[in-house]
Amino acid sequence: MDETEHTSQADDSGDSGEETDGPHVTDDGVDDPPPDPSNRAVEANGSDADKAPTSDHDAGVVDGQASVADQGVDATQQSEAGVGTDGSPTAAEGPTADEAATPDPDVDADTDVNVGSGGRDRSSPDVDLDGVVLDDDDSQGLFDDLLSGEPIFENKEVLRPSYTPHELPHRNDQINRMATILVSALRGETPSNILIYGKTGTGKTASAKFVSQELESTSQKYDVPCEVEYINCEVTDTQYRVLAQLANTFIEKNQQVIADRLDDHRALRSDAADDSDALAATEFATLDELDARIEQLEADAAEMEEVPMTGWPTDRVYSTFFEAVDYHERVVVIMLDEIDKLVEKSGDDTLYNLSRMNSELTRSRISIMGISNDLKFTDFLDPRVKSSLGEEEIVFPPYDANQLRDILQHRADIAFKHEALTDDVIPLCAAFAAQEHGDARRALDLLRTAGELAERSQAEIVAEKHVRQAQDKIELDRVVEVVRTLPTQSKIVLFAVILLEKNGVHNINTGEVFNIYKRLCEEIDADVLTQRRVTDLISELDMLGIVNAVVVSKGRYGRTKEMGLSVPVEETEAVLLSDSRLGDIENAQPFVQARFDN
């Protein structure tokens, strides 16, 4: 990837400002296209940015050497597949990425020079690869094509969730409120506990981290003992782990403090040995006192035992943390991000224990900042915990489309090459993400994915269609992930719906699903649930957005659910069949026939 970026920078420097509608056209032909000496120049008369990527292969077609061109095609596809699997976390890469690049097949058949985005993407099944002799010009290695593409990104990392932005537009109010509450810590007082709410992608984590960095740096500046501990409870999701992580962090810090003090004291000790006045301005009246302190510190250091990741009784972990944090004077802000996950998984004991610590701590004070994606999570809390934790509440509302535009624009300026986006890209990403409850993460994902799809199809500019493809891809990835992680019984139910749908059944009702379901269960030796349970599973699939079920009244025959699939049939089926148990169902046709027998 690095290399791609270098190449791109070199290329990019030459083209700024030249292009209006046919970006990089001149650049490709005239400037330095180092890794790709082939036929870029032919595009000079084209204005469609999408034509760019493929002209080198198309040249083969032009010469009438279709098979050579197709060889090029396959090489490209292989390399694309490679990027697909490493570049992105998702299983459904292939189809969408291919679609992204799928050209109009007519174009290259009968156009002669600027054959557009034709050749490379056709996967001609009848190409005889063995018989192909490559032209020198066309002998592209696996990576050549990718390298030769005009890279779109300047710094893709900026669009990843791991990047912490230095500026957070539209979060001033929330950030200021946090700061106003936490500033007590810098005065040596205990800040109120804070509870932060907001849906995913509303900037909670980013804002909290920003504030904690500022808090710590200010505390260093004024030399006030204030520390922030950030814990992601999605990862650290039990009381034991939270306390152990806190204990070990503070033990480590204490060891450092002890080591520093020992250094000072030992230095003083050796000064004092020569010069009895050395102790005058210190807290030590005599050498014996100093020796005693040194001994004490050494003993403290030896005593502090790290908490193992498992195995201790919880109260021992708790008291180890307690002693560690209380070892010296300080104010500690504990940020528990995704706190709802912790409570969901392990109840509110951790919060209860943490929230009553201050009454027993003698030197230090702690303050808790909980961050929750779930607006109703306090409903599950012990009332004492609830009132203690929610002393201050800050809400992070969803972003609207305009705010998302600002956020995206800030990032895009750093992430992309100059003029790598058409004007409608950011507004469209913002609009899609605004529909998705104003989720900035989704907006950034969309923008990054759109850029990747453009890059992969060797387009030279990210356009609206890439955003739409990215939207489809992300949506499909979500579906694939949801379906892949369904429990087996739900998978069987879903498979029954798919079989019915594939056989042209509309308004599928529960009874029909149940009949197919039963037969599928028998086929793969799974337990058969009651129709009632199956109806529940259908409701769950409905809630997950996989099927769309409505209750219809059948008059005196009662009510039934009618449903259809809300996700793409082929992809969903493929995911189901990749489950080793369902994969056993070879030929499902007979099951569907069976419904007519009933």
Residue 212 sits in the site that holds Mg ion (CB under 5 A): no
CA distance 399 to 171: 10
Token pair in block for residue 566: 């809300």
CA 185/CA 192 separation, integer angstroms? 10
- Of 1-9, 202-210, 252-260, 394-402, which part binds Mg ion (CB under 5 A)? 202-210
Using Cβ positions, the residue closest to ligand ADP within the complex turns out to be 203
Chain residues 434-453 in contact with ligand ADP, contact rule CB under 6 A: 440-441, 444
Closest separation between CB of residue 197 and ligand ADP, Å?
A: 10
For the chain, first and last CA: distance in Å?
A: 59
Q: What percentage of the chain's residues is helix, strand, coil (to nearest 5)?
A: 60, 10, 30
Residue 312, phi then psi, degrees to nearest 5: -85, 150
Eight-class DSSP state of 553 = E
For ligand ADP, the closer CB: 411 or 519: 411
Q: How far is CA 301 from CA 211, 270, 318, 402, 467, in A?
A: 32, 21, 19, 55, 57
Instruction: Report 2-61 residues binding Mg ion (CB under 5 A).
Output: none
Shortest CB 264 distance to ligand ADP, Å: 41
Residue 151 binds which entry of Mg ion, ligand ADP, none, CB below 5-8 Å type-dependent: none
Q: Which of residues 363-392 bind ligand ADP (CB under 6 A)?
A: none
Residue 450 site contact among ligand ADP, Mg ion, none (CB < 5 to 8 Å, cut-off depends on kind): none
Instruction: Give, as ranges, the residues between 484 and 503 that touch ligand ADP (CB under 6 A).
Output: none
| Calpha distance 413→170 (Å, rounded) | 18
Does residue 206 touch ligand ADP according to CB under 6 A? yes
The residue (of 200 and 255) whose beta carbon lies closer to ligand ADP is 200
Q: 162 to 201, contacts with ligand ADP by CB under 6 A?
A: 165, 168-171, 198, 200-201
205 is an interface residue for ligand ADP by CB under 6 A = yes
Strand segments (E) across 66-181: none
Q: In angstroms, rounded to a whole number, what is the distance separating the alpha carbons of residues 365 and 157?
A: 37
CB of 433 to ligand ADP, least distance (A): 10
Does 469 bind Mg ion (CB under 5 A)? Our answer is no
- Name the residue among 510, 522, 516 with its Cα closest to residue 564: 510
| The dihedral sign for the CA sequence 114, 115, 116, 117 | negative
From the CB of 394, what's the least distance to ligand ADP, in Å? 12
198 touches 397 (CB < 8 A) = yes
**Beta carbon of residue 165, minimum distance to ligand ADP (angstroms, whole number):** 4
Stretch that binds Mg ion, among 83-91, 201-209, 312-320, 505-513 (CB under 5 A): 201-209
Q: What counts of helices (H) and strands (E) characterise the chain?
A: 24, 8
- Binding-site member from 105, 141, 161, 308 for ligand ADP (CB under 6 A): 161
Nearer to ligand ADP, 322 or 396 (CB): 396
- Spatial distance between the Cα atoms of 352 and 336, rounded to a whole number of angstroms: 13
Distance CA(208)–CA(215), nearest Å, equals 10
The beta strand positions in 338-380, using DSSP E, are: 364-372
Residue 178 site contact among ligand ADP, Mg ion, none (CB < 5 to 8 Å, cut-off depends on kind): none
In the complex, what is the shortest distance from the CB of residue 159 to ligand ADP, in angstroms, rounded to a whole number? 8
* 240 vs 399 by CB, closer to ligand ADP: 399
Here's the x/- map for ligand ADP, 394-413, by CB under 6 A: it reads as -------------x------
Q: For residue 204, state whether it binds ligand ADP (rule: CB under 6 A).
A: yes
Rule CB under 5 A: is residue 372 a binding residue for Mg ion?
no
**Cα(587)–Cα(585) distance, integer angstroms:** 6
CB 168 within 8 A of CB 405: no
168 binds, among ligand ADP, Mg ion, none (CB under 5 to 8 A by kind): ligand ADP
By rule CB under 6 A, what string of x and - marks binding of each residue 108-147 to ligand ADP? ----------------------------------------
Q: Residue 23 or 398: which CB sits closer to ligand ADP?
A: 398
Name every residue whose Cβ is closer than 8 Å to that of residue 507 and which is 6 or more positions away in sequence: 562, 563, 564
Q: Which of ligand ADP, Mg ion, none binds 161 (CB below 5-8 Å, type-dependent)?
A: ligand ADP
Q: Between 52 and 335, whose beta carbon lies closer to Mg ion? A: 335
Phi, psi of 476, deg, nearest 5: -65, -40
Nearest approach in angstroms of CB 478 to ligand ADP is 16
Sign of CA dihedral 414, 415, 420, 425: negative
DSSP string, 22-44: STTHHHHHHS--TT--SSGGGGG
- Kindly state the smallest distance separating residue 219's Cβ from ligand ADP, in Å: 23
- How many Cβ atoms are within 10 Å of 462's Cβ, its own excluded? 28
* Nearest residue (CB) to ligand ADP, 331 versus 434: 434
CB of 347 to Mg ion, least distance (A): 21
Q: Which residue lies nearer to ligand ADP by CB, 161 or 308?
A: 161
207 binding Mg ion? (CB under 5 A) = no
Is the Cβ–Cβ distance between 72 and 60 less than 8 Å? yes
Q: Where are the alpha helices (DSSP H) in 171-238?
A: 172-186, 204-221
Q: Which of 38, 79, 90, 205 binds Mg ion (CB under 5 A)?
A: 205
At residue 74, φ and ψ (nearest 5 deg) are: -70, -35
Look at residue 202 and give the partner it binds from ligand ADP, Mg ion, none, a contact being a CB closer than 5 to 8 Å depending on partner kind.
ligand ADP
Separation between Cα atoms, residue 576 and residue 580, nearest integer Å: 9
> Residue 203 interacts with ligand ADP (CB under 6 A)?
yes
Give me 283's structure tokens. 């807290």
Which window, 137-145, 161-169, 320-328, 507-515, contacts ligand ADP (CB under 6 A)? 161-169
For residues 560 and 580, what is the distance between their CA atoms, to the nearest angstrom? Answer: 32
Q: What is the crossing angle of helices 440-456 and 93-101, to 10°?
A: 60
Least separation in angstroms between CB 409 and ligand ADP = 10
Q: Which residues bind ligand ADP (CB under 6 A)?
A: 161, 165, 168-171, 198, 200-206, 407, 440-441, 444
Q: Which residues bind Mg ion (CB under 5 A)?
A: 205
